Structure 1
Amino acid sequence: MLKDSLVQIAINAREASNKLQYLTAEDRSFALNRIKAVLENKKRDIFKANEQDKQNADKLVKAGTLSASLFKRLDLESGDKFATMLQGISDIDRLPDPIGQITYSSKLDEGLELFRVTCPVGVLLVIFEARPEVVVNITALALKSGNAAILKGGKESILTLTALSSAIQSALNDTVIPPNAIQLVETREEIDALLDLDKYIDLVNYPAACNAAETLLIHRSILSSHLLPLVTALQNNNVLLHLDQESLSQLPPSYDTSRIQSCIPEDFDTEFLDLEMAVKVVSDVEEAIQHINSHGSKHTDAIVTENEQIAKRFMQGVDAAGVYWNASTRFADGFRYGFGAEVGVSTNKTHARGPVGLEGLLIYKYKLCGNGHVVSEFE
């Protein structure tokens, strides 16, 4: 029964995707503005759902089954987060229409012309973590790029996600875009079943947080001068450190080690998702590159150095979607790259890499226009 309903969800998404192929930039722009207006109108209901999600999640934090960092991502009410979410819709709407752009053309013969033209991927299945505003970011990017989307957020934010999704579908009812262009599923079991429906679903992105530094590699030559100030600064900000033996040996005997642990090999392959960091001493940039390429996530890596040649070697040698020199890894974000928003940061090596904005949700098709040409004429 579950599979039958999911097949229908996938079919509905495919049908919506097929219709989106024919809609104009004006149609899609109208839909984005309508979504923004309805979300603003339903702000109170959305906040009420978000408050209930936070109350439920707080119990899980106290029970030790949900991390404090995930809890913080649930909050849609604090500061200007809701306003920023709505502004993101407008920012995406203002971007140039990405569909139908000619990226290559060639005249193969008289009256025989080849064009490579951008087009939507089709149906996206997007799985994301606790931040509920992601459903709006992805919706805006999907519709701007002419794609349908099936969305699965974290169960901790399900009430907020449902409220946001309901507002989006209500808005789409006032447009030429089918409401089934954006659909929400709730459980892991549903995702497992949807992954088998590649007849209808074209692309799966799994955006996960994110761009916090997980490992610090420090050059042996500056160990005595830089390690202690770094450790102290991190400790003052409540970061739990996993130090290798060489760095541990540099700490004074009287140093407070209550938030310091001796690291194990698995620490260098761990995404801590909290205020935690592994620390390792390396002898040179080549050892650092080797370590990163063996243990890194291929997301984003940064080097802090005044030596330009060393920085260039690092940026050339590290296999990651983003490589930075004297800049925070927190810049690994589609909004900060000027993409308007993102559906995630891809570490893949085909189709899209790095922050995935509009361009990453497009593919292309080749259009060949002839005048009765046949291949035998060219043999």
Structure 2
Amino acid sequence: MAEQLAKDAHFAATILKTLSDTERSDALSKIREGLLQAKDSILEANKQDLLLADQGGLSSALIKRLDLSKNDKFDSMCDGILDVAKLEDPLNKVTLARELDEGLNLYRVTCPVGVLLIIFESRPEVIANITALAIKSGNAAILKGGKESLHTFKAMAEVIDHVLDTKTRVPSNAIQLISTRGEVSDLLVQDRYIDLVIPRGSNQLVRSIKDNTKIPVLGHADGICSIYVDEFADIEKAKRIIVDAKTNYPAGCNAVETLLINDKIVHSPSYVSILESLASNGVTSHLVPELLSSLPKVLKEKYEKLFVEAKESDFHHEFLSLDIAVKPVSDVKAAVGHINRHSSKHTDAIITENDDNAKIFLNGVDSSGVYWNCSTRFADGFRYGFGTEVGISTNKIHARGPVGLEGLVCYYYQLRGNGQIVGDYQGGGGKRAFIHKDLDVKGIVL
């Protein structure tokens, strides 16, 4: 069953990549129209999932991710499909052109990765996001949603299947949606046909997948994001950034979880105002003992329950809630050191008006996103102008950070000749030398 499903996806991928950009983009427009027409039934299915999630004691963070009705999430999801459709075609771009010899030209050309297996929890909008990115980039995709989003998943899957089968030239089986855990286990061994696994969910999910497949895995296990407030920070600017990074969407993997503050401003009115701005927005600060003991009495009394003692584990932890771990550091290099020891290599930021310190931080932090004077919440494919994303990767091979179309293509080499053989050339038995002349790739259409 799983092998046949993977074979079908592989065959569909070989056809999908030959469709024109117009055909692939038209399919996305049709999917968007179908989802919008079925909005009421999809949101009704989503209500069933929310009710079951609440009854089953699912965490508030996961319930927020599951809900498609809040903050125009459904409409934004559909608009994201259109955004992807409007992006430049990522396929068949020549990224290198080289004349090896007269009449023997080498080209490096972008192409799809092949077959994607995407496993996700809670967020049903992932179905639309990845369907859009997969089709636009010429990749086939097999999607598995979590049991907590099963009703929403099925409602959206029915719409997408119907649209692709009846209104587009996208081949059957290019997008397949599965719903059982057993199928996932069987698919994880199909490394002959599946080219990339993308898990979106908990640390446990990602690590379990990495431990049970030979297929390359793209993703991140945690979003332990840190912000360092430098001694040269603009404090008003810092407060706005920190509050946004923590409270805009606490359940997001790009929400800040750790706040590092330079020793020189700790115990100052500036430091107190930062803590007060967090507390006034309902954030619980987990302070290391020396900070908690020196907290001004008036502040502690005003927000009695919002200041607690931090444990060491808090600095290795993704709260996904209105909580933040706070610690002083001696300077920017100490901040970099702390982040590189504790972070999940997701997104980290410095707040400073000092260019030299910013440069030390930007060059020194070993994360997929490193920011200066802005919120970690900008770590997102839509905000980067990618249309949407399949996820955020903390890997160091192939794709890193928010992964959009560019992260779903690789390349192959085309060599075009006129009867040449290796035996005529130096190193192959002959005397003819290679030219190895680089050509301008601009304007080359193969």
- Please state if 1:156 is matched with 2:152: no
- Please state if 1:274 is matched with 2:321: yes
CA shift for structure 1 position 378 = 2.9
- Please state if 1:28 is matched with 2:24: yes
Q: Which portions of structure 1, spanning 4 or more consecutive aligned residues, are displaced by more than 6 angstroms?
A: none
Q: Which residue of 1 aligns with 2:51?
A: 55
CA shift for structure 1 position 71 = 0.9
Q: Which residue of 2 aligns with 1:92?
A: 84
Alignment RMSD: 1.6
Q: Which moved more, 1:331-340 or 1:204-213?
A: 204-213
TM-score, scaled relative to structure 2: 0.80
Q: Which residue of 2 aligns with 1:213?
A: 256
Q: Which residue of 1 aligns with 2:443?
A: none
d(CA) in 2 for partners of 1:368 and 1:159? Answer: 49
TM-score, scaled relative to structure 1: 0.94
**Letter matched to residue 214 of structure 1:** E
- Please state if 1:8 is matched with 2:4: yes
d(CA) in 2 for partners of 1:140 and 1:253? Answer: 54
Q: Secondary structure at the match of 1:221?
A: coil
Question: Is the 1:127–1:151 contact (alpha carbons within 8 Å) kept by the matching residues of 2?
Answer: yes
In structure 1, which of residues 222, 239, 243 is the aligned counterpart of residue 265 of structure 2?
A: 222
- Please state if 1:348 is matched with 2:395: yes
d(CA) in 2 for partners of 1:10 and 1:301? Answer: 38
Question: Is the 1:246–1:281 contact (alpha carbons within 8 Å) kept by the matching residues of 2?
Answer: no
Equivalent residues in 2 for 1:95-110, closer than 5 Å: 95-110=87-102
d(CA) in 1 for partners of 2:328 and 2:289? Answer: 9
d(CA) in 2 for partners of 1:191 and 1:222? Answer: 51
CA shift for structure 1 position 308 = 1.1
Q: Which residue of 2 aligns with 1:378?
A: 426
Equivalent residues in 2 for 1:49-198, closer than 5 Å: 49-60=45-56, 65-174=57-166, 175-198=168-191
- Please state if 1:19 is matched with 2:15: yes
- Please state if 1:236 is matched with 2:280: yes
CA shift for structure 1 position 33 = 1.5
Question: Is the 2:26–2:85 contact (alpha carbons within 8 Å) kept by the matching residues of 1?
Answer: no
Q: Secondary structure at the match of 2:419?
A: coil
In structure 2, which of residues 314, 321, 342 is the aligned counterpart of residue 295 of structure 1?
A: 342
d(CA) in 2 for partners of 1:305 and 1:263? Answer: 25
Q: List per-residue Cα deviations over 1:178-205 (Å, max 9, x = no partner).
A: 2421122234443333222111110112
CA shift for structure 1 position 73 = 1.7
Q: Which residue of 2 aligns with 1:248?
A: 292
**Letter matched to residue 16 of structure 1:** A
Question: Is the 1:145–1:361 contact (alpha carbons within 8 Å) kept by the matching residues of 2?
Answer: yes
Q: Secondary structure at the match of 1:151?
A: strand
Q: Which moved more, 1:221-230 or 1:362-371?
A: 221-230
Question: Is the 2:393–2:403 contact (alpha carbons within 8 Å) kept by the matching residues of 1?
Answer: yes
Q: Which moved more, 1:229-238 or 1:348-357?
A: 229-238
**Letter matched to residue 270 of structure 1:** H
CA shift for structure 1 position 346 = 0.9
How many residue pairs get aligned? The number is: 371
**Letter matched to residue 184 of structure 1:** L
Equivalent residues in 2 for 1:329-348, closer than 5 Å: 329-348=376-395
Structure 1 316/199 Cα, relative in aligned 2: closer, same or farther at 3 Å? Answer: same
Q: Secondary structure at the match of 2:265?
A: helix
d(CA) in 1 for partners of 2:182 and 2:258? Answer: 33
